[in-house]
Chain A
């Protein structure tokens, strides 16, 4: 099953490659991976979406934790958590009908049209993976998708729980 792992690690050169290397070395699956420095610039926060049964997940968590650069890892899947992903999608907007439809669908999903070209609209949408998939399906029914980019998910536990040092 799909799991979301949140990782706090040293913001050091090579840290990312150690994580990625570990996943390929041990034949673990990566569905998506996002990483960036945190408010404390010496730390990086990573979110990995992965798949595997309980036994595989236990190994993933332990193996990642064993990396020297990793400070903390938690599996937030089973907790109350927030999961967000950013989508940028460029769609064909050649005529009034498609322009209207794209605008309408975007509004329904609470996205934003953030750029326009002569014949295209670029739309931004955030949400969990399901919402983004539904949005893409809706767009595909009305117009042609020219290009799309997804950030992969970032996640955080709800409430007072925090992943910090």
Chain B
């Protein structure tokens, strides 16, 4: 009996099939043409051709954030691979599993400054979880299987697999086998929380008079929002979500006090500042949450649960550190609370909620919309919420619109809110929305963006035509780089250095040129009708260009160098 032999390129595709990959997001080029040839000759995996490799990474990323499945990117050597760098960094900062297959020049040419040669392993070293270089074709299945395993376990993240041209070519063949049950002696992520720490955490919680639960992206990634909700309901304590953790508890839940941080609600930040115990779940005390770390919640005992030990006590010292998968630790904690017959201290709780409700009554997210004035961006988000019943996938770019969406669209479920929280990548929104739409063609998928961000990957309107991805793009058009302008207003004496877009295109014509539908909204009276009309169109991409008030700022906002609860509530008004 003869063993069937395969080329390296075929092994790449067979490995991906074995790992149940449905889509590859990519762009062909010289060093990966053999892989493209292998893709052409099979029909298990569909390749999605983007118009720029950065978009391939964001599209894979959006697909992953919505489905939980590892996204796969394929790019050629040199510029193809370097174009992926921003998307890899975006995924890295938000702990999104991703496998990037990057072509490389032939091994014999590496180091010679060959055509389209870049040391992509070197370029991406600080922004990946790990990387592999396949030196022979037999390395390929193992590298790809390990890449998936590493990307999707522990704290997830992107993994790069470099594939030199000479291991892919048809002249070079070998037998194929893949072992997807990976064990690595150097990698054993801790999954269960240490029993002693769990007991300590439960005792700390039981003694708390002013407890707050602060939860983040870890809850979303681990699909443990229901468990979180159960825990929170057991504790009867207030819960706040980070920007990455929105949807971790339903946005309309009684105990939910809104997002915290730089543009969080006053009640969330005040509750944090006044808490005696903070239960931090799957968060990393990002600087956009803490404000000045020196002044951060001085009276609180902090219980910090995270899978990544480096996140614990990195910026804020944790009094009770618990390393483990947040879903497992939460269950351990629930069990331990039962074990010690935990019941919340009713009197303390009632006082605590009385205080929180006073902060809530400030209504820190309120804004002023006069009927005859320009449309306020917040109103657009509220209208979208109403029309989509709060059930849409909302994919955001970066800037004021991102914060308005985070504040005014209460997400019922995790994975519904998709944004570049850590890296803050403008140009993320549209390709991410395309990835979501590919996975959920029957759901409303919104790309909320601005006139600045949308132009950073606007070429993807072409990909949307090719693969029929009818997302609804809602551009909050303020004819300026709004968040930059806001900082210039507040910190730089109103000097609008390069924040004004003087030559905006006609977005409607652009949309139409790609075969999509464009809808222009200029006044408040037409807002709801035209948005309703936009969401009623199911089979075509709709580009809604909404003219909004360019002077509107995002509030509340941290006062720089202040404590977490020192905030501007509106222009010139401090909390």
**Residues of A at under 8 Å CB distance from B?**
9-10, 13-14, 17-18, 21-22, 25, 55, 58-59, 62-63, 65-66, 68-71, 165
Contact = CB atoms under 8 A, between A and B. Distances in A.
A70 B186 contact: yes
Given A25-B126, A55-B313, A69 B121 contact: no
A21 B309 contact: no
A122 B122 CA distance: 39
Contacts, number: 36
B309 A62 contact: yes
B186 A59 contact: no
B186 A69 contact: yes
26 contacts: A9-B186, A10-B186, A14-B121, A14-B131, A17-B125, A18-B125, A21-B125, A21-B126, A25-B126, A59-B310, A62-B309, A63-B310, A65-B309, A66-B308, A66-B309, A66-B310, A68-B129, A68-B130, A68-B150, A68-B186, A68-B187, A69-B130, A69-B186, A70-B186, A71-B186, A165-B185
Contacts of B186: 9-10, 68-71
Interface in B108-158: 121-122, 125-126, 129-131, 133, 150
B314 interface: yes
Given A21-B125, A71-B185, A59 B314 contact: yes
B322 to A, nearest CB: 15
A67 to B, nearest CB: 8
List 6 A-B pairs, minimum CB-CB distance, nearest first: A68-B130, A62-B310, A71-B186, A25-B126, A62-B309, A21-B125
Nearest to B126: A25
Interface in B173-214: 184-187
Which of A21, A59, A63, A66 neighbours the largest number of chain B CB atoms within 10 Å of its CB?
A66
Nearest to B135: A13
Given A17-B122, A58-B313, A68-B187, 5 more contacts: A10-B186, A59-B314, A62-B310, A69-B186, A165-B185
Interface residues of B, number: 18
A66 B157 CA distance: 12
A26 to B, nearest CB: 9
Interface string B485-526: 000000000000000000000000000000000000000000
B563 to A, nearest CB: 21
A9 B185 CA distance: 10
Nearest to B308: A66
A16 B268 CA distance: 44
Contacts of B308: 66
Contacts of B309: 62, 65-66
A71 B185 CA distance: 7
Contacts of A22: 126
Contacts of B130: 68-69
